Chain A
């Protein structure tokens, strides 16, 4: 079935710590994955993506890890800042389609 992610959990971290947000996907035919950040009152904003032929990709302060064996995706944010507070969504793209399916999201709260 079309199922990505978990029920909306909340992750609370202290400023400066590293954050790890996890996501499970169920469709083994998916070949492209994206992480989005959504701040209050705004639309989702692209953070980083990864294709199924990779298992790790790094950006500025963010790293995405893909484990196809267990259908697991994670987003690591280094030195978390207050501006990182938002809801984070993983999304998967079914092979050879324009259909991006979103997970239920994780709320990240950063405390000073």
Chain B
């Protein structure tokens, strides 16, 4: 019973392609996130959604488009993939500050390799 699950775990694709990463959480959390981890292990927030509404967008190129069909899902679609997009992408969720519980629960990551 994985709390935050994302698919696929590995994604290898050519430059210029469009790809999606899916994320689902079964914790009943209101807030979901996407983080990008580079080759130096640096974790950087990309997006945050609260109840399907975009809260944080950290100047991510508009080739990246998150979509939240409901509060349990936050998918990440990437258009026109570039070499620099290669990284590990983590989905996470939390109850959010409204509940005084900002602790994030992470998925196991999607390793994206753009060739």
Q: Do A98 and B56 have beta carbons less than 8 Å apart?
A: yes
Interface locus among B14-22, B39-47, B73-81: B39-47
- Contact A98 B94, beta carbon cutoff 8 Å: yes
Q: Find the B residue at minimum CB distance from A42.
A: B108
Q: A43-B90, A96-B97, A97-B97 are in contact. Are A102 and B105 (CB under 8 A)?
A: no
* Interface contact B97-A46, CB-CB below 8 Å: no
Partner of A105, one of B41, B50, B103, B109: B41
Cα–Cα distance between A99 and B35 once the two chains are bound (Å): 11
Size band of the interface chain A makes with B: 20 to 34
Q: Which residues of B contact A (CB under 8 A)?
A: 4, 31, 33, 35, 40-45, 48, 50, 55-56, 90, 92, 94, 96-97, 102-109
Binding site for B on A (CB under 8 A): 8, 32, 34, 36, 38, 41-46, 49, 87, 89, 93, 96-102, 104-105
Chain B residue numbers with a CB within 8 Å of A49 are: 103
Q: Which of A32, A89, A100, A104 contacts B45 (CB 8 A)?
A: A100
Q: List 18 A-B contacts (CB under 8 A).
A: A8-B40, A34-B102, A34-B104, A36-B106, A41-B108, A43-B90, A43-B107, A44-B106, A46-B104, A87-B41, A97-B56, A98-B50, A98-B102, A99-B48, A100-B104, A104-B40, A105-B42, A105-B43
Complex contact A102–B42 (CB within 8 A): yes
